[in-house]
Structure 1
């Protein structure tokens, strides 16, 4: 849907997650999940690095990494957000909950974003 999770919800579709789906995403990446984690100093060395902060807007506004793009988690799969993320850039996912960050990273990898990392 063009408006991502919010559009899905507005259309009357359920948005409650299925634990099985989460487990499948984790299983898909369990062998290289730790390889996805990266420190900021190492991320800054990557060519064409984009920090994408999926935390709550209030948390982002209080403190965020310089140059990080804020994306509301509910807008994650919106067409405008997906168009903004360049597949040729290394994406660094920021979220306070590492499990959520992992699901975001795994989902983007499934969507053919080749270089996705999770900020430690």
Structure 2
């Protein structure tokens, strides 16, 4: 990918209405294929998480095992305590061609 294409993709991502990406647990579970991905730190995940959620340490977001684990045919529901971080994760995954990204609300 050239610099111009990356710049154009970043501009497109900035046009995303992040409020439209917010989803609650009930609506998420109504999706056909979905995966909850919990990017909170391990201690918070261990204290309580949505049943079946995959834990991915934010620092290891781009590791090969994480990338292999996330299926691009599933809708990904991003979980993080900080809305700004969840937005960055969502935008990054969109740039990586994950088609259906939501932010758990």
Evaluate the alpha carbon distance shift between residue 106 and residue 66 of structure 1 in structure 2; reply closer, same or farther with a 3 A threshold.
same
Question: If the length of structure 1 is used for normalisation, what is the TM-score?
Answer: 0.75
Distance 1:25 1:95 in 2: 22
SS in structure 2 at match of 1:66 = coil
Select 1:40's aligned residue among 17, 20, 25: 25
Runs (4 or more) in structure 1 with deviation over 6 Å come to none
- Cα displacement string for residues 16-46 of structure 1 (whole angstroms, at most 9, x for unaligned residues): xxxxxxxx96983344211111111100000
Gaps of 5+ in 2: 1-8
Asked if structure 2 preserves the Cα contact closer than 8 Å seen for 1:92 and 1:118, the reply is yes
Q: How large is the RMSD of aligned CA atoms in angstroms?
A: 1.8
Kindly indicate whether residue 100 of structure 2 is the aligned counterpart of residue 93 of structure 1.
Answer: no
Question: If the length of structure 2 is used for normalisation, what is the TM-score?
Answer: 0.86
Select 1:75's aligned residue among 50, 60, 73: 60
Alignment of 1:24-35 (within 5 A): 28-35=13-20
Alignment of 1:1-120 (within 5 A): 28-120=13-105
